[in-house]
Chains A and B, each alone.
Chain A
Amino acid sequence: MAAINLKDIVKRYPDGFLAVKGVSLDIRDGEFVILVGPSGCGKSTLLRMIVGLEDISDGELRIGDAVVNDKAPRDRHLAMVFQNYALYPHLTVFENIAFPLRLQRGQFSEDEITAKVERAAKTLELQDHLQRKPANLSGGQRQRVAMGRAIVRDANAFLFDEPLSNLDAKLRGQMRTEIARMQRRLGTTTVYVTHDQTEAMTLGDRVAVLSKGELQQVASPRGLYEQPVNLFVAGFIGSPPMNFMPGEIEGDVLRLPFVDVPIDARLRERIGDRKIVIVGIRPEHFSDAGLLEDSKRSEGVSFDTEVDVTEWLGADLYAYIPFETSAEVAGTLAELDRDLDGEGMRTQLVVALDDESRIRDGDTATLWFDPARMLVFDPETQDNLMFDPEAAKSIDEQNEADRRASLERAHAREKAAAGSR
């Protein structure tokens, strides 16, 4: 187990393309860090540089206390799970898992290898399949064999490269919790690459959001959700994604496409003398005004609007409301949409309502939101003007405390289980 330190890591391809533009990241011992971003953001390249399959063009990579820039993959003592599992098809499941042990010639006796492989197989419930070949396994079983190969030796860290993207939705959910449980129990430093923001939010102690080879923000999942530093992070984290719309400042009001919001002292200070801003509101921060108590209703602003389409999903009701964006911010928003792998579809407001709401397609509905939860972005720099470093810090500290506590609980459980055996 070891900490991994990245300092100004750069990946420059021979044709001059910069895939990773100076990323610095400290991964603490035992921490579960997610690298997330849309396709082509350099997250996989970064992971492959950590494991040693890609050369590092510039910068310094430390694992534990040693600089490992020029070390071969085998000298870094990391274990990696590949997106397509990369199992050895000519070997049985047992031999696949034993492969890393057998390569360390003379270090383990045959009995030790058998014991280690069987323990790993038990952890992953693969005992019944040890003598089968990978070709005869299901997708989930292959995935578990790949994980078995990673955990069988005492690696410094686990690296995962989109390990769940080849599984179907149901299995993905199961394996996700399995990975989380395994990491808690083993307490091994883990770096996990994904483009799926759900995986990022649920698995990570900390999440590093990348875009176009640059690190946007590193924070706890809650920190990213509540205190995104810029437009990109705000748009990437959350499902359905945050609504962005133009906001024009006219005297004391912030004019949105469907409602005017009064500008209070805090908002005024943050906006400064900007004439136009981009306003972001999460779908779940809207409510059906008809379902609110009057006292709460008066705390926010309400507006009437025409609902185009609704989607009922059991616990949630999504309503879609098209709107015209203004020309000044249309370019910025279209570019953001492209960066987020969007399709450049019509601009519309997505609203997540309570399932009790009676709003249906074509209704004129009264919606409500609290301006205090609204985020305001500079259209040029795309920075979040409402970013509060103090709040962000306290969220991350709380998260770190939670992590330590759950790690200790896991270890205590482990000890108790070992003692009772």
Chain B
Amino acid sequence: MERNADRTIITVVGKDTVGIIAKVCTYLSEHQINVLDISQTIVQDFFNMMMIADMKNADKPFDQCARDLEVLGEEIGVNIKCQREEIFKKMHRI
């Protein structure tokens, strides 16, 4: 089976505020990470966003990007998490 190890799910959860998506997308574009899909919802008054991103051409390794985004999240006051897509595919697809 084809391994698509570069596809990453980025989730942003927290209190809604101006410019969350802009700041995350700015980081992604600065590091050559391509966004494939974005969806967004409000769960129990919390802003909840999920992005599917392709890190194939990213200029930094996965671990570094994950840490950078975590720090960025702390600055904005939201929780940003980077996970490889496979865990969700394995769990929710037969």
A binds B: no
